[in-house]
């Protein structure tokens, strides 16, 4: 009966861990294990704010407290992590063992700091992916309107602050955004070719269309398969993007309307705009 109770607790802990995004990582670590006189060396496989998965050639008993540090990116301080071994398995290939660790011994403040670090890992990975696909330089003005149509766009309106050189920022409205640019509606005329700084936060309410982060089981012709759901519901952060006014449209409701091409946008911002446009299009398809 005690064994069943312990197994039930472990299953519950694993279920709770899967609700959080797990960042894949291959990081050598030295693990302090309660009851062992020397560190155990292993590899951190993945991590979330509630737990992680480790691989080691050394046998570690379940319910042992473990401590280790990670420094997952250059310039980041070493972060101490404290947890307890809740599962142990033998990997399908290679020697050693894989362990599931629950960060039950960490405070809410320590977990929040870990969550921020994992978010930064995601951001840097997204930046690396998108920069490999980004064009080397912005398109000429004459071609910008045609080229922007090659990107997925959305007409959802949102507030934006824009600033032209030598003037204070002004509150305006934007829509028709894509990874290439947006449509700006404001009260004053802006000459074509003017450089502008745009500061805005995309509306996060559209993200409710995405499923919650975690893991689910899908039935395939080859049997059940575990699928990880990324955290696409995380709120948008404020962006600051440089752009250039490349076109002027017919005034609307007493406001000037301009097409702005992004001239300095990083990979992470591109992926966030793509996440926004995907959510809007997905919601539109479902409503139809």
Q: Contact, 126 vs 113, CB < 8 A?
A: no
Measure the CA–CA gap between 118 and 110, rounded to whole angstroms.
12
Measure the CA–CA gap between 162 and 194, rounded to whole angstroms.
12
Q: Which of 110, 129, 148 is the last residue of a domain?
A: 129
Write the pLDDT tens digit of every residue in 19-77.
556 788 878 889 999 998 888 888 888 888 889 999 888 889 999 999 999 876 666 77
Measure the CA–CA gap between 239 and 190, rounded to whole angstroms.
22
Stretch among 5-9, 84-88, 207-211 having the lowest mean pLDDT: 5-9
Q: Give the model's pLDDT for residue 224.
A: 75
114 CB-near residues (< 8 Å, 6+ apart): 47, 49, 79, 81, 103, 106
Measure the CA–CA gap between 256 and 244, rounded to whole angstroms.
15
**Number of domains into which the chain is organized:** 2
Write the pLDDT tens digit of every residue in 63-103.
999 999 987 666 677 889 999 999 998 876 666 788 999 99
Measure the CA–CA gap between 64 and 35, rounded to whole angstroms.
8
Stretch among 63-77, 139-153, 176-190, 216-230 having the lowest mean pLDDT: 139-153
Whether residues 274 and 153 share a domain: the answer is: yes
Write the pLDDT tens digit of every residue in 231-278.
788 899 999 999 999 999 999 889 999 999 999 888 888 888 888 988
CA 223 to chain centre: 30
Residue 25's nearest CA partner among 68, 58, 62 is 68
Instruction: Tell me phi and psi for residue 98, to 5 degrees.
Output: -115, 135
Whether residues 260 and 153 share a domain: the answer is: yes
Q: Give the model's pLDDT for residue 115.
A: 85
Please give the helix or strand (H or E) that residue 10 lies within, else none. helix 2-17
Give the pTM. Answer: 0.50
Whether residues 269 and 165 share a domain: the answer is: yes
Q: Give the model's pLDDT for residue 147.
A: 42
99: helix, strand or coil: strand
* Structure-token pair, residue 34: 């309660």
Whether residues 112 and 14 share a domain: the answer is: yes
146 CB-near residues (< 8 Å, 6+ apart): none
Q: Which of 97, 129, 161 is the last residue of a domain?
A: 129
The domain of 171 spans: 137-287
Q: 65: domain CATH number?
A: 2.40.10.220
Q: Which of 129, 147, 164 is the last residue of a domain?
A: 129
């Amino acid at each position: 009966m005690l064994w069943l109770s312990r197994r039930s607790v472990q299953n519950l802990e694993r279920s709770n861990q899967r609700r959080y995004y797990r960042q894949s990582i291959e990081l050598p670590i030295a693990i302090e294990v309660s009851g062992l006189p020397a560190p155990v060396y292993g590899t951190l496989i993945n991590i979330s704010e509630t737990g992680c998965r480790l691989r080691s050639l050394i046998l570690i008993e379940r319910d042992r407290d473990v401590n280790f540090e990670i420094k997952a990116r250059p310039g980041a301080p070493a972060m101490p992590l404290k947890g307890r071994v809740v599962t142990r398995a033998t990997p399908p290939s290679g020697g050693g063992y894989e362990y599931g660790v629950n960060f039950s011994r960490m405070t809410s403040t320590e977990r929040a700091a870990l969550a921020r670090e994992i978010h930064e890992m995601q951001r840097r990975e997204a930046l690396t992916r998108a920069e490999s696909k980004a064009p080397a330089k912005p398109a000429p003005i004459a071609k910008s309107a045609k080229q922007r149509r090659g990107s997925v766009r959305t007409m959802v309106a949102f507030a934006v602050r824009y600033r032209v050189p030598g003037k204070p920022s002004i509150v305006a409205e934007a829509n028709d955004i894509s990874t290439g640019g947006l449509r700006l509606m404001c009260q004053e005329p802006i000459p074509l070719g003017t450089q502008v700084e745009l500061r805005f936060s995309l509306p996060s309410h559209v993200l409710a269309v995405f499923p919650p982060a975690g893991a689910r089981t899908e039935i395939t012709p080859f049997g059940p398969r575990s699928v990880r759901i990324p955290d696409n519901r995380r709120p948008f952060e404020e962006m600051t993007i440089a752009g250039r006014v490349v076109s002027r449209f017919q005034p609307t409701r007493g406001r000037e309307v301009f097409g702005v091409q992004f001239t300095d946008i990083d990979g992470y911002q591109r992926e966030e705009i793509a996440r926004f446009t995907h959510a809007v299009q997905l919601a539109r398809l479902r409503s139809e």
